[in-house]
Structure formats: structure tokens, C-alpha cells
Amino acid sequence: MKLTYRQVLSRPDADGRCRVVVDVAWDGRRAKLTTGVSCLPAHFSPEARQVVMRKDPDHTRLNNELAKVEAAVNTIFTLASANNRPVAEAELVAAARVALGKKPARRAAPEAPVARTAADFYALWQAENPGQTYNSARRYRQVVGHLDTYQPHWDLTALTRKDLLDYLGHLAALGLVDSTVSKHIKFLRECFRLAGKVMPAWLKIKTRYGRAPALQQAELRALMALELTEADLREEAALFTFQTLLLLRDSDLRALRPHHVAPVDLPGYPATPVLSFHQAKTGDEVRVPLPPAAAAIWQGWEGRPPVPSQQERNRRMKQLARMAQLTRSFVRVQYVRGEPQEEVLPLYKVITTHTARHTGADLLMLGSGGDANLKEKALGHAGVYGHDALERYGPALLQAWGKVLGTVGAIEKNAPALAGAVHQPAPADGGGGVVFRRVSYR
């Protein structure tokens, strides 16, 4: 919640005094509250401790009035947080009027319709989370579809434990794995929160995950060495390579902007581009140097990764992996109602965008001789090395990747793509392939 004082200058009174209002912003919503306070514009200082300056002979009383409104607003949000419920604009307006000794408005604002169905709560969730892309909102859209199919116009405010168990049985019969069912539980918990109801202790699920796929050293090299003519596949090869070398989640890759990379002098690696950002999932800061291949890709992007939807990325990755003949068997383990279900599949069928992060972690362990702390630092896990200096672990990261990707001589002989690829459109004359630019820090 953010509270901002503002003066309405368009309608001064006969003495030149203008009304002071307070804007309250929360969860993508905004309310304007009257305060009953007016002062000369020259006496108004919204950023100061005393909003009405001492120059005003009545400043003590006026600031006390503003303090009453602010206290009333803070109380509303404190109580709402304690009861895990949303705040409505109408209650803020009413609280401000009461704080100023005024009676509630004669005509109460019409109450918002009570949310009951999955569609109702989904609309509320969207209002609380503006700017959601189609892909990011997809997980709850699918949940709403399942809920409506299972029981049209289901009143979720009356959900009981038996109702939940019956619904979970229905999802299991459809073959949905526990990791997918967990999204349904998260949405139902959101419904209780949005309805202002106490969260039931039974509204949860314990989810287990099988081992995630990761590429081996030779498989990553094969993927990076592919000669590609299709623009979308060239684009995805660059995205996956960059994501692997920096151990990034898909969500962090999407958030990167030009200012996140800047040159830093490291011992033995002068003017090395270093990526500095805060992880979307944890908020922890990560600082890692870009290996030459990643630096070349970043340069080609001009600091703005061209990231399509995650669904599209996963489709492209499977196609790339098949082209690279990544066909070794992988035992995928998924859990249905807590029971493991095994399925043997070729690697290219199970590869996803998150495979890049797992691949990077595994290969960094290989290149560093098993330095688990170095891997954890690159992953951005909090508490590892504390505030260890980039000047110490940065060169170690670059050396590890050098061992994984090979020397320049090996690159020139076996896989030119490993020298650093800027994935650009195919030449206008119809020639195919990938344009490569060699990058070195030495």
C-alpha cells in the first residue's frame, strides 16, 4: 500500500487555499480520499513530515486531521492483512469520513457482486494482477476450465474437505499429475483469500517431483553446433545456450534488459561483461560473468532477448533436440496422488526450457571439478559464500565453462558454434547457416 498526499489546485477558495487529498494505491487499485484540510500551495509540503508547513498559523490542527485519516487507512489494511482478505475502496472512504467526524455517506456505494464461481474469482485475480500476459495467466485459465467442467457454476465459497477430495479424485482419473494438481490447489487458496475467508488447514497438497532432465557435455556441444536455417530455431538455440551458460530460469531470462550487463575487470579477464539481476522467484541478487559464447549472443540481441511464450519455446526445444539426435533414454518419473509413475522416453521428448538451468548446474560441476559452492553461487541460492567477491569466484566460473566448452583450437576444429554465436537472419542470397562472431576476453 502506498499513500500520497496531493493538492487540488484547480479550485482554490476565496483566500487561495486549496484542498488536500490523499491517494491510496494497493494491488493495482487506487482510491482518492478527502481529508477536510485546505492550505495555501506555498504551505503544502507532501514529502515532509508535516504536510502543512509551520508557515500556516493553523498547521498543528491541519496536520492532526491528516494524521487521523492516515491512521484510519493503515488500520483498514492491517486488519485486512490479519484476516487474509482484500481491501475495498468503499471501506477506505467510509473510514476516512469517520476519522474526520463525519457521518457515512447517505447513499452507500453499491456493493460489489459476491464472488462465488471459479470465473468470478479468476476475474478478481486478474484485477489484482494487471498486465498479465496470455501465457502467464494460462495456468489459472486451465484450472477454471476444469472446475467449470467438473461442476458448472460451483459455489467455491462453500467448498468442504469432502468436496476437495472428490475433486482430486476426478483430476487423478483424468491422469493429471500432482505437479499440475498443485496449480488447482493454489487457485482454490486464492479463492478463499479473495473471498476474505479463513484458509482451511486441509486445503493443501504435498507435491513430489522426479529428476529433471539435463544435457551431457557432448549433447550440449551437439546442440550448439547445429547449422540452422529456420529463424525461430536459430532464435531458440541462442536462448537455450545463453540460459544454460548463465543457469537462468525462463522467468529471469524474460526480465533481462540492457542495463543488467556491464563490464567488470576480473583477475585475468579484463572488461568482462557481468550479468547482475535479482531473481524473479526469490528476489536474491545474482552476479555472474558471461562466458564468451554468452557474451556474443547478448551482443547480438543488443541486450533484449527475443523470448516467445514458454509453450512455443518448449516446442522449439524438442525440435532442436531431435535434430541434434538427443535420443538416449530418460526415465521420467511423475507422481499421481503421491504414487510414482515411470515412463521411458527419448531425451528430446522431455526437454523443456528449465532443462537449461539443470544442464548448466551439472556441467558447471563437471568443469569446476565438483565445486558445489561455485555451482550454488551461479544458481543464485542465498547463503552460499555470503557476500563473496565476484573477483574471486568470477574467474573460476569462466575457467569451468572453458573446460566444458573446450579451447579455441578445439572449437575451430570440431564445433565453431562454441566460439560464440550471434544468431542472425539467413543471408539475403539464400545461403543458410548461422553467423558466428568470435569473442575473447584476452
Which pLDDT value is given to residue 416? 34
Nearest Cα to 417, choosing from 305, 324, 316? Answer: 324
169: region left, alpha or beta (phi > 0 left; psi from -120 to 50 alpha): alpha
Pairing verdict, β 261-266 and 2-8: unpaired
Digit-coded pLDDT (tens) for 338-368? 888 899 999 999 999 999 999 999 999 999 9
Does the structure show a pLDDT above 90 at 181? yes
Whole-angstrom distance, CA of residue 349 vs CA of residue 13: 72
**How does residue 207 score in pLDDT terms, banded at 50, 70 and 90?**
confident
**How does residue 434 score in pLDDT terms, banded at 50, 70 and 90?**
very low
Residues 6 or more apart from 312 whose CB is under 8 A from it? none
Which pLDDT value is given to residue 350? 94
Does the structure show a pLDDT above 50 at 76? yes
Question: What's the burial of 241, exposed, middle or buried (CB within 10 Å: 0-12/13-18/19+)?
Answer: buried
Does the structure show a pLDDT above 80 at 423? no
* Domain residue extents for the chain: 2-99, 118-194, 217-324+353-419
Nearest Cα to 233, choosing from 356, 160, 322? Answer: 322
Whole-angstrom distance, CA of residue 241 vs CA of residue 235: 10
Residues 6 or more apart from 366 whose CB is under 8 A from it? 217, 403, 404
Residue located via cell numbers 558454434: 417
Nearest Cα to 304, choosing from 249, 271, 256, 369? Answer: 256
Whole-angstrom distance, CA of residue 210 vs CA of residue 358: 13
Does the structure show a pLDDT above 90 at 404? yes
Whole-angstrom distance, CA of residue 173 vs CA of residue 336: 10
Nearest Cα to 211, choosing from 369, 367, 350? Answer: 350
Whole-angstrom distance, CA of residue 401 vs CA of residue 272: 14
The Cα angle at residue 126 between residues 133 and 31, in degrees rounded to 5? 120
Is the four-CA dihedral 319, 320, 323, 324 of positive or negative sign? negative
Which pLDDT value is given to residue 408? 38
Query: Which set of grid coordinates corresponds to residue 173?
Result: 482419473
Question: What's the burial of 182, exposed, middle or buried (CB within 10 Å: 0-12/13-18/19+)?
Answer: middle
Does the structure show a pLDDT above 70 at 133? no
The gap from C-alpha 112 to its chain's centroid, in whole angstroms, comes to 30
Digit-coded pLDDT (tens) for 138-170? 778 899 999 999 999 999 989 999 999 999 999
Least confident of 136-145, 208-217, 400-409: 400-409
For residue 381, give the 3-state DSSP assignment: coil
Q: What is the mean pLDDT of residues 425-436?
A: 34
Whole-angstrom distance, CA of residue 305 vs CA of residue 159: 43
Whole-number mean pLDDT of the chain?
A: 83
Nearest Cα to 296, choosing from 438, 392, 153, 107? Answer: 438
Q: Which helix (H) or strand (E) holds 174?
A: none
Q: What is each CA distance from 47 to 28, 51, 52, 58, 359, in whole angstroms?
A: 22, 7, 10, 19, 50
Sheet with 18-26, side-by-side order of all strands: 2-8, 18-26, 29-39
Residues 6 or more apart from 101 whose CB is under 8 A from it? none
Backbone angles phi, psi at 170, to 5 degrees: -60, -45
Query: Which set of grid coordinates corresponds to residue 301?
Result: 540481441
Report whether 288 contacts 275 (CB < 8 A).
yes
pTM above 0.75, yes or no: no
